[in-house]
Each structure stands twice: as structure tokens, then as C-alpha cells.
Amino acid sequence: MTNSVTVRPCRAEDRDAVVALWTDCGLVVPWNDPAADFALALSKLNSTVLALCLDDRIVATAMVGQDGHRGWIYYLAVAPAHQGEGLGRRMLAEAEGWLSATGMPKVQLLVRSTNERVLAFYEHLGYAKPPSTLMQKWLTNPSP
């Protein structure tokens, strides 16, 4: 029997499964509430969370959004049991396609500098470190 593979935008009722996947993949940090990130992405016209489903089970995601100048990808996740099957590459292509359809000429993403395996994954797929420095300022008090 062959699994049915579909990619679709997430719905509100997918939240718990998606947050569990992000947690299993080590993407959740104390200062970002993944449920709030999920809800915010679904509440805006310029963002969404894409889900790859095997049969009816979410096994990969990518949060995508655009700011009118560039696209962003967050929470690219593949269930640990399915890593190495090309699903990360598929989700990256789906996210890039969604952003391209909104007219974005480039895409950016953030990877922790200590995550060498993921950095190598993106570099293998044509991503490069830009000659710029990311700066940030918290507008709210993050929870440690």
C-alpha cells in the first residue's frame, strides 16, 4: 500500500499536531510561543503554515510569510522518523513556490549558527550566508 502524500495550508485545528512536530524537531525555544506563532501565521493574508501529510498525518511543515520585499521561511520541520526521505527538500520547494506566487524575488531564513547539519542542508540547496548582519531588538519582554 502506498501512502497518500499531500501538501496543504494548515487549519486552526492542526495547531496541536504542528506544535508537537516542531517540539519533536527541536525548533521550540522558551522565548517563542509556537502556538502563538502558528495562530499569527494563519491570521494574516501574507503568511501561512504549509503541512505535508502522509495519509492524514502531518509529518512536515514550513511556516512562510512575506513582508512585501522578501519572503521568510520558519519552522521547516520533518518528523524525525521521516528525515532523510526528501521531505525537507519538498517542503522547502513548496515554501519557495508559495513565496514566488506572492511575487517575492528572494527568500530568507534563520538558522542557529550552532546547527551545522541544518546549515549544510540549506547550503546544499543553494542558500548562502549574506554579506550582512542581522540585528534585532525585542519590543516585548521575552520569557527566558
pTM score of the predicted model: 0.90
The tens digit of pLDDT for each residue in 1-21 reads 567 999 999 999 999 999 999
Residue 10: closest CA among 44, 52, 72: 52
Residue predicted with more confidence, 117 or 43: 43
Q: Where are the domains of the chain?
A: 5-125
Is 65:47 a contact under the CB 8 Å cutoff?
Answer: yes
Burial class (CB in 10 A: 0-12, 13-18, 19+), 85: middle
**Over the stretch 20-68, which tens digit does the pLDDT of each residue have?**
999 999 999 988 899 999 999 999 999 999 999 999 999 999 999 999 9
Helices (H) and strands (E) counted in the chain, each on its own, are 4, 5
Q: How many CB atoms lie within 10 A of CB 54?
A: 16
Fold of 5-125: Aminopeptidase (3.40.630)
Query: In this structure, what C-alpha cell is assigned to residue 43?
Result: 491570521
